[in-house]
Chains A and B, each alone.
Chain A
Amino acid sequence: MSTILEQKCPCCGGAVEFNTGAQRLKCPYCDTEFDITAMPEDTSNQVEQINWNSQGAQWGTGETDGMSVYACNSCGGEIVADTTTGATTCPYCGNQVVMKGQFSGALKPDLVIPFKLDKKAAKEALKKHISTKKFVPKSFLTDNRLEEIKGVYVPHWLFTCDAIGNANYKAKKVKKWSDENYEYTETSYFDVYRSGNIGFDNVPVDGSTKMPDDLMESVEPFDLSQAVDFNTAYLAGYLADKYDVTAEESMPRANERIRQSIIDSFRETVKGYDEVENQGANMNVANGIYKYALYPVWILNTKWNGENFTFAMNGQTGKFVGNIPTDKKAVTKASLLLGAGIGAVIYGLMWLIELL
């Protein structure tokens, strides 16, 4: 069994949770609030090691691969989680537990952005997100069920560097004129070259394979100025995973985004042309450093017609994303009606112009 950490209330011994409104720890049983710094970071000497002898069947060889087993400090219940789970809830007593081994030593995050928005805000954001969209199937609005809502600290790698690059563009200028009999078009082609450097700070890359990369990039950006040094107390009441994608594995994605930024930024300096086409770019990185951070994300799972829909909300800024199904019949009907209306207006205008 691995050891786990529970943030206990010094007054009543209940499991405390991180309160987004107060940005402090709060005991839900006696309502006592505590500063994060008041809680001991490592309480391993207080944690009771419980070893149970199983009287039933034992795990077979290979059955526990990709799985970790913990014992709840409060009720002794067995918590089975995957190897990346860093914080979860005991399924028996509901206590919030942190697998401290997941965030110790080299695995300790450098930064954490605490949740600013609570579960209620996430639910309201989901309602608003769905209600403001057009052509959503009516049955989705009525039958769509919220299956799960969870606040997750998602591991991210943050890359900071000075990017040195160059980019080539093929540019075109078009000049037109005419005389009595002919129209002339002169097209001039240019090879445009730009080189320079740009600094990037904390370009994030999702460090968890559990979270879809597109979902995590869609809730960006996070305001890293509000990040604080990591403390396990911030995880109380939320789920958390340790990274299972290493920094080295995340670098290609960071490079890809930085490289595209260089192309786009240098492109903005190419002016005076009618068309500009990128021909290629080279990039080197200097002073590259990376950090490990946990970003707060609310994940909401809904079910409709047997299909799962996942939404995500930035737990700091409230940016809400998620794909919603479209009523294709309604889209077709609206397209036909609007098209017919526009067509009638066009024909009417033709008549008007003709009569005038």
Chain B
Amino acid sequence: MTKKIFAIVIAALVCVSFVFSASAYTQQYVIDYADKLSSSEIEELDLFAEKIEAVYGITVLFCITEGTGDVTVDEFAAQTYGDYTDNENGIIIVHDDWNKEYSTFAWGNAEEILTDAAVGSMINAYDSNDRYYGGIYACYELAEEYLENGYSGGYVYDGEPLNNGTDIIGASEEKDGVSIIWLPVSLGIGLLIGFLIINGIASKNKSVKMQENATVYTRPGSMVITGSADNFLYNNVERREKPKQTESKNN
């Protein structure tokens, strides 16, 4: 019986490990419906796109297809983006190889940095390089360049400066974490609380003390209040200026 349980537990662990290993597989960024790329090429391009996403928080999808069925290429692009990611900051470039059409859609921060002109230059790079692997690679290189430029507060491709480059970095939802300076502060607070708690417990070792009053010897129901007065003396009003709204850290 014990052996059976052990076997079930091992099997469950193996299943769980498979689930985790499957989930550890990198997300697909290059979608090759036209079967133009080898699996190793796709994997390499996926790693490139994954790096861009990790650094800038922008998902860059590239889809090669031969026809879009009953939907337009634009509808197809929007639908494919939703199928492969839920990142609100990203872009998809769809190349309909059969109809020789391109469609691009951008969301969130990607829309601000990867402007129409920038995307145009990316498609040009794709066209002018060796299709398909080389073209997509060149396209990703440009995307990385533009994003780096945009995030550092510089100029985007078409020459118009961003309102504020650092603003976009904040919006990319990257977390800096808690500064290490808070560690000694936390420890200090913890030590103070710990000291109070432990000394409170230790103080119970002292149980000898004078009684403060004789309330326990009060005759039940004997208290009679014969005189009572609550006289207002004076009041004062203090006015303090409200602290100014602190500007957001992003500004």
Q: Give the residue of B186, B192, B216, B231 whose beta carbon is less than 8 angstroms from that of A350.
A: B186
In the assembled complex, A325 has its CB within 8 A of some CB on chain B: yes
In the assembled complex, B187 has its CB within 8 A of some CB on chain A: yes
In the assembled complex, B34 has its CB within 8 A of some CB on chain A: no
Is B209 touching A264 in the complex (CB atoms < 8 A)? no
Q: Which of B175, B202, B222 has the most CB of A within 10 A?
A: B202
Residues on the B chain within 8 Å of A188, using CB: 232, 234-235
* Given known A261-B215, A354-B177, contact A347–B204 (CB-CB < 8 A): no
Of the candidate stretches B51-59, B66-74, B83-91, B239-247, the one touching chain A is B239-247
Within 8 A of B (CB), among A249-302: 254, 257-258, 260-261, 264-266, 269-270
When chains A and B are docked, how far (Å) is the Cα of A340 from the Cα of B192?
10
* Interface SS, B side: mixed
In the assembled complex, A93 has its CB within 8 A of some CB on chain B: no
Is B235 touching A221 in the complex (CB atoms < 8 A)? no
Residues on the B chain within 8 Å of A195, using CB: 225-228
Is A187 touching B205 in the complex (CB atoms < 8 A)? no
In the assembled complex, B21 has its CB within 8 A of some CB on chain A: no
Residues on the B chain within 8 Å of A133, using CB: 204-205
Q: Give the residue of A135, A260, A346, A350 whose beta carbon is less than 8 angstroms from that of B201.
A: A135
In the assembled complex, A39 has its CB within 8 A of some CB on chain B: no
* Given known A134-B201, A254-B214, A258-B214, contact A178–B230 (CB-CB < 8 A): no
In the assembled complex, A342 has its CB within 8 A of some CB on chain B: yes
* Interface SS, A side: mixed
In the assembled complex, A218 has its CB within 8 A of some CB on chain B: yes
In the assembled complex, B24 has its CB within 8 A of some CB on chain A: no
Residues on the B chain within 8 Å of A178, using CB: 242
Residues on the B chain within 8 Å of A214, using CB: 208-210
Q: Give the residue of B177, B222, B232 whose beta carbon is less than 8 angstroms from that of A198.
A: B222
Is B223 touching A339 in the complex (CB atoms < 8 A)? no
Q: Give the residue of B216, B233, B237 whose beta carbon is less than 8 angstroms from that of A190.
A: B233
Contact with A along B196-218 (1 / 0, CB 8 A): 01110110111111111111111
* Given known A186-B235, A193-B227, contact A351–B190 (CB-CB < 8 A): no
Interface residue tally for chain A (C-beta within 8 Å): 76
In the assembled complex, A67 has its CB within 8 A of some CB on chain B: no
* Given known A135-B201, A193-B228, A194-B227, contact A335–B194 (CB-CB < 8 A): yes
**Cβ-closest chain A residue relative to B214:** A257
Residues on the A chain within 8 Å of B233, using CB: 189-191
Is A186 touching B237 in the complex (CB atoms < 8 A)? yes
Q: Which of A184, A254, A326 has the most CB of B within 10 A?
A: A326
Q: Give the residue of A185, A202, A217 whose beta carbon is less than 8 angstroms from that of B238.
A: A185
In the assembled complex, B38 has its CB within 8 A of some CB on chain A: no
Of the candidate stretches A113-121, A226-234, A316-324, the one touching chain B is A316-324
Q: Give the residue of B194, B211, B213, B224 whose beta carbon is less than 8 angstroms from that of A196.
A: B224
In the assembled complex, B229 has its CB within 8 A of some CB on chain A: yes
Is B175 touching A196 in the complex (CB atoms < 8 A)? no
Residues on the B chain within 8 Å of A326, using CB: 202, 205
In the assembled complex, B188 has its CB within 8 A of some CB on chain A: yes
* Given known A133-B205, A183-B240, contact A257–B211 (CB-CB < 8 A): yes
In the assembled complex, A197 has its CB within 8 A of some CB on chain B: yes
In the assembled complex, B189 has its CB within 8 A of some CB on chain A: yes
Residues on the A chain within 8 Å of B25, using CB: none
Is A322 touching B198 in the complex (CB atoms < 8 A)? no
A–B pairs, 22, beta carbons within 8 Å = A180-B242, A183-B240, A183-B241, A187-B235, A187-B236, A188-B235, A189-B235, A192-B231, A193-B229, A194-B225, A194-B227, A195-B225, A196-B223, A196-B224, A199-B222, A200-B219, A203-B217, A266-B225, A335-B195, A339-B192, A347-B178, A354-B176
Which residues from chain A sit less than 8 Å from chain B, CB to CB?
A: 133-136, 162, 166, 171, 178, 180-204, 212-215, 217-218, 220-221, 254, 257-258, 260-261, 264-266, 269-270, 321-326, 331, 334-347, 350-351, 354-355
Q: A187-B235, A350-B178 are in contact. List 6 more A-B contacts (CB 8 A).
A: A134-B201, A196-B224, A204-B217, A254-B214, A269-B228, A343-B183
Which residues from chain B sit less than 8 Å from chain A, CB to CB?
A: 175-178, 182-183, 186-195, 197-199, 201-202, 204-219, 222-242
Q: In the A-B complex, list the 6 residue pairs whose CB atoms are closest, starting with the nearest.
A: A343-B190, A339-B194, A339-B191, A199-B222, A199-B219, A342-B190
